[in-house]
Chains A and B, each alone.
Chain A
């Protein structure tokens, strides 16, 4: 953008001369400026309301403001502490004063929550200490003795190591948590206990279920696209409307209909029981598990596979196959050797598109996936809305965004010139 401005004002060398070349350049610059001005409003809108929030989220994934904000005295007292043995008295006094101040405005819960995320069990320690110190009428002679009397944890290293670590205004801890790692009591990096390991598992599940869904859409979509692409135009258009109808219909409407079909007393199970295929007591569980997520997402994403395949196939003339067959190739061979290779770019585009969309899905797994059909997105939402661990949600979100963008670059390379098309 800066380059554009320099181009528009023109270099000093040409400023004096009014040669044709300079005039042309000037006109050219004016044109460029005109074009740029037209895109400017949207560019500003997208920057302010989309890019800035995205960057904000990335910042949130490393930001660590709670302790610096609510325990400023502690932060400055610990800044010179070497972390080898228990800190000096002035650090104890700083903690006590910070907690007293937080108690007065009833914000010590925020400190407790922040520290507890890093070291479970700290919640009680901070709350207890805040209550006790907050109610002291006069400051004791020695804060170290006083705090250790309130809870002996103040006489041990872990809480101090934690406070020192949380004094920094940024932290890699959320990214550690996003891959099931944590800091040990001494600050070293270690894996979380087995029962807490969830994120790696969910990343893997998101990836493999998306792969499965992508493969299913390809298996269902390829023959369909081929079939429609060989139809006469007017009939093909009608078929494409049928393909596009679900694409255009509200996602929630589609999910509603699947719930109606698949739930334990739904249409499919009623037919199965009514026809005697299964007994009433053994209705198969078709929804609220992985199966539900896979079935519904396959249907929802199928049009995204059919569209690029169809447009690729449409551009391959019938004559290619006919030529191969007339030269003696078996139709199967003609298909595999002539037709299929020409559709590779369509397959690549469809596969990537479905996969990219799939890994970011939230609504479908949430409504039909039960517990075993949840994706990483559901965990992001959980951390935003329920566990309120916004830093972790931001870290998970940043990872997911990075993966999506990398895949999309790949998609741009396959479809050519980074062009994006829809419908």
Chain B
């Protein structure tokens, strides 16, 4: 890292402070990121232990193996969990995105009645602790007889995802000047054309980031699944939970590394969408 040029009026003690301060910042960043990175090399461990073996530190090829990855892709329990996660998360995301986008379009219209009250109600699922949502839904779904079903899990995850969509899309729409739309109309576009050709491309990044948030929420959710899913709806986080709780085997390190990779890809694409959205709107950033 290149040292930032310090203003000349600072005394040597203040220089010392500056570097100490920077060191502190780096330590905190380490605390945030490094624990995550530790699992990646360990996931290639040839022994079933959670620590670096001597061979690994000496970089002997025999100390490394892909067996835990192979295990993940062959164990029926893990595969079932993977399959379920890819059934539940996309469907829940789709429902959350459609309903959330509609609501955001309404909320940002001039003349929306009870705006604050309705907004608060709609973001409530994000605020109430998950354990409460899980408990309440468990009681309710028991009553409706939809515990241990895909429908129950999907509904619950869609509920959790909607606040994210509402918030990101509302924020995008509020940042959008109505003049674009009016300009398009005044230049002769039909409202339909104006909406789909002008407004939509501007809002799309917001919708997509909301959808990504919703997807990640569902993909990572374990508390609700723990309460309302049956053995057939076991998702990836639930399988990880079981693994962590009872019989830890290093397959979970391979899974964790893969999920980490997915997070990096998603975060990267989100950043791209943010940049694209700013570019379209002519905001430099």
Contact = CB atoms under 8 A, between A and B. Distances in A.
Contact of A267 (B29, B51, B244, B248): B51
Interface of B: 4, 7, 9-10, 14, 21-22, 24-25, 28-29, 31-33, 35-36, 38-39, 42, 49-52, 99-100, 102-103, 105-107, 109-114, 116, 118-133, 135-140, 143, 155-156, 158-159, 162-164, 166-168, 171, 209, 213, 216, 219-220, 222-223, 226-227, 237, 240-241, 244-245, 248, 252-253, 256, 259-260, 263-264, 266-267, 271, 285
A50 B124 contact: yes
B140 A56 contact: yes
A239 interface: yes
7 contacts: A1-B114, A223-B28, A251-B222, A252-B220, A267-B38, A393-B135, A401-B128
DSSP class of A's interface residues: helix, strand, loop or mixed? Answer: helix
Contacts of A377: 129, 131
A280 to B, nearest CB: 13
A323 interface: no
B33 A250 contact: no
Q: Which of A34, A263, A422 has most chain B Cβ within 10 Å?
A: A422
Contact of B168 (A35, A361, A422): A422
Interface of A: 1, 3-4, 28, 31-32, 34-43, 45-47, 49-54, 56-57, 60, 220-221, 223-224, 227-228, 231, 233, 237, 239, 241-246, 248-261, 263, 265-267, 270, 299, 302-303, 322, 325, 331, 356, 359-363, 366-367, 377, 380-381, 384-385, 390, 393-394, 397, 400-401, 404-405, 408, 417-418, 420-423
A94 B84 CA distance: 52
A50 B209 CA distance: 23
Contacts of A303: 32
A363 B129 CA distance: 12
A223 B135 CA distance: 38
B136 A53 contact: yes
Nearest to B237: A252
A45 B32 contact: no
B33 A245 contact: yes
Nearest to B99: A42
B209 to A, nearest CB: 8
A239 B29 contact: yes
Q: Which of B21, B143, B171, B223 has most chain A Cβ within 10 Å?
A: B223
B97 to A, nearest CB: 11
